[in-house]
A and B are shown apart, each in its own frame.
Chain A
Amino acid sequence: MGEDFAAALPANAWNWMAVWRRNYLLWKKSALASILGNLADPMIYLFGLGTGLGMMIGRVEDTSYVAFLAAGMVATSAMTASTFETIYAVFPRMREQRIWEAILCTQLTLGDIVLGELAWAATKAFIAGTTITIVAATLGYAGWSSLLYALPAIALTGFTFASLAMTVTALAPSYHYFVFYQSLFLTPMLFLSGAVFPVTQLSGTFQQVAHFLPLAHSIDLIRPEMLNRPPGRIALHIGALCIYAVLPFFLSMVLLRRRLMR
């Protein structure tokens, strides 16, 4: 059994790229629509909430509310882009389109496929998060130099949430189940992770919960960088995101093997 599981893991460090390139080739056909689609939501939140609430709230943590919100929206857009890719695009590739089935007949392993899909979802998250960072920097809500440090954090955020979503995809019997993940996990996390208001506004228990939320770690990485502030415990945040990326990867491998390779 252990030997079989090992055989399903990624075969080498580059096989996954074939899957990534397949998705990239498809994405190129409608790149503009895809980018705009991923941007619309966070931009509307940023400017709708940012300007509207910003006028009422004034300053938050010694900065304008829009600037505070910008980092939250960057992390959230990365989370949403990679989650949606991994559930709504990967699930049909795995099921009705039978694309995974076709790939499993080649020299690629299940692990290669999963890794390629995760890398692609992280790429889409990277594009979405980076575009918002650039918009924020252009409008003066973030420093240009911070871009350099924020970008790897955005990519890691994308990979982490893709990995978490992959376990959901592996478990879901049908599309209907994805809405639970969105409304019971992602949406509450948005409010508990300091994306739209500081975590310090929460009650003590919820502040404790926030320590365990991947989005909170992502925002804690990205916000100081965008606001040109001294970074906090970088190693802790990166470590937490890595754990949330690696453990679900292996969990989804177990689940997908049970689902696809009976």
Chain B
Amino acid sequence: MSNVAIDLTGVMKSFGNKLVVNGLSLTVASGECFGLLGPNGAGKSTIARMVLGMTRPDAGKITVLGVPVPARSRLARKRIGVVPQFDNLDLEFTVRENLLVFGRYFGMSTRAIKAVIPSLLEFARLESKADARVADLSGGMKRRLTLARALINDPQLLVMDEPTTGLDPHARHLIWERLRFLLARGKTIILTTHFMEEAERLCDRLCVLEHGRNIAEGSPHALIDEHIGCHVIEIFGGNPQELSSLIRPYVQRIEVSGETLFCYAPDPEQVRVQLRGRAGLRLLERPPNLEDVFLRLTGHEMEK
């Protein structure tokens, strides 16, 4: 058994005139959590679909769990669980029926499915909702059910397209905790996200995509060290242009994003001295994070 879960080599894909994935190569090792980061339209979902064999690349080679995709993607999908970007649960069924029906799509017998349903409900913390209609669940519960559903075939690999988009912080933290539990049990996860915090917390490695190209790849900490490597001061409440000319001599780099000034400063104290006495300014000093990497690399503001 190879220890490579997903391998993409020189993958290209365009829809009409729009080039969505541009010569992408990446490798996901078994047991790791790999993140695809990028703004909307960067090609994340298309890559997830290609891994599943649902979209055919124009050029390049894709191997998933040792199987060529899309030609033999059915074999790969037997061992994959999918959490899609938009909930596609069967709204007319109960929680339990959703799991039953989905297990049958994997060719499982009713008895085998009924044997795993209790542990899946427990995993998703939905024991008390087993016989509730899906339409009556909250957004967080639906996502947890989608996650439980993705595990019904005991997959080796989980493909997740923005697993926590649209959830409140409580629901999101619960999903993250569940995903870490799965990683501890040796599952491989590839997830797309535009939440930097999600990527930083979960991913062993990630790549930043822009216009379908891989513009940076590595562990979150390595990327932060490599691309930022110093403290960050966020300044709001003043005129960004005026402030940036004032402090430019004392910082390594300045990014203006909206009305916020991001100063990358080896010596934050010097910046503070320059701004002392100015009314109405708010300063926030913090360690660098992935969002800084992203702003630096793409020059885009991430959606929060």
* A contact residues vs B (CB 8 Å cutoff): 3-4, 7, 11, 15, 18-19, 21-22, 25-26, 29, 97-99, 101-109, 260-262
Which secondary structure dominates where chain A touches chain B? helix
**Bound: A105/B49 CA distance, A:** 9
Q: Are B101 and A7 in contact (CB under 8 A)?
A: no
Residue contact B101 to A22, C-beta cutoff 8 Å: yes
Beyond A7-B74, A26-B93, A260-B54: 11 further Cβ-contacts under 8 Å? A7-B72, A22-B101, A25-B93, A25-B97, A26-B92, A29-B92, A99-B90, A101-B88, A102-B88, A107-B78, A107-B107
Distance to closest chain B CB from A100 (angstroms): 9
Contact A18–B104 (Cβ < 8 Å): yes
Q: Given A11-B74, A262-B55, answer yes or no on A105-B84 (Cβ-Cβ < 8 Å).
A: yes
* Smallest Cβ-Cβ distance to A103: which chain B residue: B105
- Assuming the contacts A4-B56, A7-B70, asked whether A22 and B84 have C-beta atoms less than 8 A apart, the reply is no
Listed in ascending order, the chain B residues whose CB lies under 8 Å from chain A are 15, 52-56, 70-74, 77-78, 80, 82, 84, 86-93, 97, 100-102, 104-107, 153
Q: How far is the CA of A6 from the CA of B71 in the complex (A)?
A: 9
The 8 nearest A-B residue pairs measured at CB: A98-B88, A106-B105, A105-B82, A18-B104, A102-B88, A107-B78, A22-B101, A18-B105
A-B contact pairs, 13 of them (CB 8 A): A4-B56, A7-B71, A7-B74, A11-B74, A19-B105, A22-B90, A25-B97, A98-B88, A99-B90, A101-B84, A105-B82, A106-B77, A261-B56
A97 to chain B minimum Cβ distance, whole angstroms, is: 7
Q: In whole angstroms, how far apart are the Cα atoms of A206 and B51 in the complex?
A: 53
List residues of chain B with CB within 8 A of the CB of A97: 88, 90-91
Inter-chain CA distance A22–B88, complex, in Å, is 15
B-chain residues with CB within 8 Å of residue A25 when the two chains form the complex: 93, 97, 100-101
CB-defined contacts of A3 to chain B, threshold 8 Å: 71
Closest to B107 in A: A107
- Residues from chain B with Cβ under 8 Å of A261 in the complex: 54-56
**CB of A176, distance to nearest CB on chain B (Å):** 24
Q: Find the A residue at minimum CB distance from B105.
A: A106
Asked if residues A21 and B104 are in contact (CB atoms below 8 Å), the reply is yes
Contact of A4 with B82 at beta-carbon distance under 8 Å, contacts A18-B107, A105-B52, A106-B105 already known? no
Closest partner residue, chain B, to A22 (CB atom): B101
A208 to B89, CA, bound (A): 49
Tell me the complex Cα distance, A102–B54, Å. Answer: 11
Please pick, from B77, B84, B87, B107, the residue contacting A15 in the complex, using a CB distance under 8 A. B107
Closest CB-CB distance, B52 to chain A, in whole Å? 6
Q: Which residue of A lies closest to B101 (CB)?
A: A22
